[in-house]
Amino acid sequence: MLEKIYSYIESSTANLVELETELCKRPALSPDSGGVGELDKVEFLQSWLKAHGITQLERHDAPDSRAKGGVRPNLIATIPGKSDTRRLWIMSHTDVVPPGELSLWNNDPWQVVVKDGRLIGRGVEDNQQGLTSSVLAALVLVQQGITPPHTVKLLFVADEEMGSEYGIQWLLANRNLFRPDDMVVIPDGGDEKGETIEVAEKNLLWLKIKTQGKQCHGSRPDQGANAHLAACELAVRLHDELPLRFNAHNTLFDPDYSTFEPTKHEANVPNVNTIPGDDVFYMDMRVLPQYPLQDVLAEVDRIMMEVSKKRGVEMSYEALQRVESKATSPDAPLVQFLSRAVQQVYGVDTRPIGIGGGTVGAYLRNVGIDSVVWGRLHESAHQPNEYALIENIIGDAKVMATLMMEERK
C-alpha cells in the first residue's frame, strides 16, 4: 500500500508546482506588516482543495477589522478515518513575511521561479513547503480511495508570523477543536537531513523597558537624571546577573542555557550635547522551560528597583511577548511514529531537540496536546530568494502519508 502511495506522490510534481505558484501569487501579509491578511490565499486554497477532491472543509474566521473582509481565516480539511480517535493533525500557516529589500531578489518574490529542482519565491518554504506536502499526502488518500486508520485533519492557520493572535491562539480560545489524544505535526522547522524532531521550546519573554529621567545640557549632568545611562546599566545588569540566577543547563537545547539579551534601542535625543530624559530599549529572553517566567520577572523587578533608586529615574516595562511552553515527551508515541516514518522514507535516524525560538507548538502543548515540529528544510525562510527543494516537498509528503497510514493502538 505504501509503495503505491509513494509512487502517486512522486508523480505529483505538476500539482505541487501549481499549488505553490498560485499560493505565492496571493501575498498573505499581516496588517501589522502593511498587508490585508490571508483571505485571498485561503479562498483560493479552499477552492483548489475542493476541485481536487478534498471536500470536507470548514472555516473558522477570527474577526480583524484591519484585514480584507474583516477576518483572518483559519481552514480545516478533514479526511475521515476508520477510527475517529487518536487523530493526526498537520498544521501549517498561510501568512508570510514581507520580501524585504527587493533589489536583493533575482526575480519578483511573488512569482514562483522553478530552477534546478528548486522553487524560488516568498513563502515557498515558510510555510508553503509543509502546507503543500500535507496536501499532497492527503490528496493521494482521497484520489486513490484510501481510508486511513485514523482521521486526518489539515489545519491552515492565520497570523503565525506575528504572534498567532488570530490563528491558533484564537482557535484555542474560541473553538473546541482538539481532543487530549490528538497528535499534531507542525512542518515549520527542521534541518537539511530531517533528523531533528523539535519537542520543546524555551520560554519566551520580550520586554520593552522605559526609563524616565530629566533632560539637561550635556555640560550640566548635575541638573538632570540621565535616562540613557540608567538604561545601559540596567541592560548590562540583566544580561550579566540573570544567568547567574537561572543557571541550569539542558542538553536538549542549543545553546543549553537561558539567554538574556538587550536588543533593540529607540532613538532618544537627536544631538550629542543633550543628556536624554527618556530612553526605551528591549530585551529578548529565552529561558529554559523549568523556570517560570514570573520568577524571571521578579528578578527583573528587583534589579530595576536598585538601578532606579541609584540613578534617580523611573523605570517600567511592558511584556511584548510572554509565552511559556510545556514539552512533549521525547518518548511520546507521536515522536516514535514520526521517527519511524522518517527512517522509512529518508533512511535517517532522528533525535529529539528543544529550540530557543517560539513556534505555534507551544500553545498546543500548554493545553496538553502532543505536538512536534519537523521538516526537511534548507532554512531559507525570511531571506531574499527564499527557496524550497521539490525533492523535499515530495519526501516530506511521503513521511506525512506514512504517518497518516500508521495504525495507532
Can you give the pLDDT at residue 180?
A: 95
In a domain, 409, yes or no: no
Q: Per the domain annotation, does 43 fall within a domain?
A: yes
Q: Are residues 115 and 32 in the same domain?
A: yes
- Rounded Cα–Cα distance for residues 204 and 325 (Å): 8
Last residue of a domain, one of 323, 355, 384: 323
What is the rounded CA–CA span in Å between residue 67 and residue 61? Answer: 11
Question: Is residue 119 located within the same domain as residue 244?
Answer: no
pLDDT of 355-374, one tens digit each?
Answer: 987 788 989 999 999 999 99
Instruction: Work out how many domains the chain is built from and give that number.
Output: 2
Instruction: Locate 170 and state its grid cell.
Output: 484564537
Question: Domain limits at 142?
Answer: 2-201+325-404
132 within some domain: yes
- Alpha-carbon distance 328 to 305, whole Å? 37
Q: Which of 359, 364, 368, 379 is nearest to 93 (CA)?
A: 359
- Local confidence band at 90 (pLDDT 50, 70, 90 cut-offs): very high
CATH number at residue 257: 3.30.70.360
Rounded Cα gap, residues 233 and 231, in angstroms: 5
Q: What is the pTM of this model?
A: 0.86
Q: Could you give the CA distance from residue 77 to residue 311 in angstroms, rounded to a whole number?
A: 58
pLDDT of residue 207 exceeding 90, the answer is: yes
Residues written for the chain = 409
- Bridge partners of 88, per DSSP, are 152, 183
The whole-angstrom separation of Cα 216 and Cα 219 is: 8
Please name which of 81, 19, 69 lies closest in space to residue 48, comparing C-alpha atoms: 19
Question: Which residues belong to the active site?
Answer: 95, 160
Residues contacting residue 256 through CB under 8 Å, at least 6 positions apart = 249, 250
25-37: pLDDT as tens digits: 999 999 999 999 9
